[in-house]
């Protein structure tokens, strides 16, 4: 279910999605917070609280996401938080999970700053209550759950060594949004009818490796759609 809200601070129209999982969580725990970080370069977060019917029940604005901007470059933030953890978090966001991030407040702030730059106005859900999360990622611990696509995101983070910081962020931003669009397209296509792997790959202009990656995300997001990818004679030969 897609919803929109006008940010009371900057008057920008923002969009977010409420899925069944979030609604059932709201049923158990009252309200579910949805964080929408936006406004570039004046970055702030609007936290919308939705109830089990998906209705807005309140909001808050978090303003202090800007202070650290001057002193840190994206690559420094990634180094501080850890490439592998950033990769996991971004993969979780692409996969549409509600994430709970455990860490010291300063690192969490840096993380939000980084995500705001990379994801710009894209929707993602970082919850502030562990009970509401699908996945908990600790910035301190070495033992975190494995998420689909994290290796791919890690390889993206390692790319573009000779780019400027802005160039690097743009590269990440474009590649991540392309991947999200492709996952969305596959879901839309499979919702209408069955497709052969070859036809899907041609339609999306992706290679075997990218197709497997997209399939991993579909498997975690919409496992019911997997058997709509059918094997055709072309896939075998
Ligand atoms: Zn705003």
Distance, CA 123 to ligand 1 centroid (Å)?
14
Is the residue at 91 inside a domain?
yes
Distance, CA 179 to ligand 1 centroid (Å)?
26
Is the residue at 164 inside a domain?
no
Is the residue at 162 inside a domain?
no
Is the residue at 25 inside a domain?
yes
The model's pLDDT over 123-147, given as tens digits with 9 standing for 90+, comes to 677 887 788 888 999 998 888 999 9
Is the residue at 160 inside a domain?
no
Distance, CA 6 to ligand 1 centroid (Å)?
8
Is the residue at 117 inside a domain?
yes
Is the residue at 193 inside a domain?
no
Domain count, the chain: 1
Distance, CA 59 to ligand 1 centroid (Å)?
12
Distance, CA 173 to ligand 1 centroid (Å)?
20
Distance, CA 80 to ligand 1 centroid (Å)?
27
Q: How far apart are CA 163 and CA 170, in angstroms?
A: 10
The model's pLDDT over 73-128, given as tens digits with 9 standing for 90+, comes to 889 889 989 999 999 999 999 988 889 999 887 788 889 888 988 887 666 778 87
Q: How large is the average pLDDT for residues 164-189?
A: 92
Q: How far apart are CA 62 and CA 161, in angstroms?
A: 32
Identify the domain containing residue 87 by its residue range.
2-146
Q: What is the DSSP annotation of 90-137?
A: HHHHHTTPPEEEES-HHHHHHHHHHHHHHHTT----B-SSGGG-SEEE
């Amino acid at each position: 279910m897609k919803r929109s809200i006008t940010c009371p601070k900057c008057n920008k129209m923002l969009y977010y999605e409420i899925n069944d999982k979030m609604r059932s969580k709201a049923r158990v725990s009252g309200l579910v917070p949805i964080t929408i970080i936006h406004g570039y370069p004046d970055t702030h977060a609007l936290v919308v609280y939705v109830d089990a019917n998906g209705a807005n029940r309140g909001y808050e604005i978090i303003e202090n996401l800007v202070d650290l901007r001057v002193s840190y470059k994206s690559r420094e933030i990634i180094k501080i938080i850890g490439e592998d953890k950033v990769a996991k978090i971004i993969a979780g966001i692409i996969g549409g999970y509600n994430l709970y991030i455990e860490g010291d407040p300063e690192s969490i702030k840096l993380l939000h700053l980084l995500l705001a730059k990379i994801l710009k106005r894209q929707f993602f859900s970082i919850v502030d209550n562990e009970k509401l999360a699908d996945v908990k990622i600790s910035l301190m611990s070495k033992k975190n759950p494995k998420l689909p696509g994290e290796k791919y995101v890690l390889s993206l983070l390692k790319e573009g060594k000779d780019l400027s910081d802005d160039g690097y962020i743009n590269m990440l931003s474009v590649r991540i949004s392309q991947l999200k669009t492709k996952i969305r397209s596959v879901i839309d296509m499979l919702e209408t009818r069955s497709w052969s792997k070859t036809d899907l790959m041609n339609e999306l202009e992706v290679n075997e490796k990218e197709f497997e990656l997209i399939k991993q995300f579909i498997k975690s997001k919409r496992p019911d759609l997997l058997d709509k990818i059918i094997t055709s004679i072309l896939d075998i030969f």
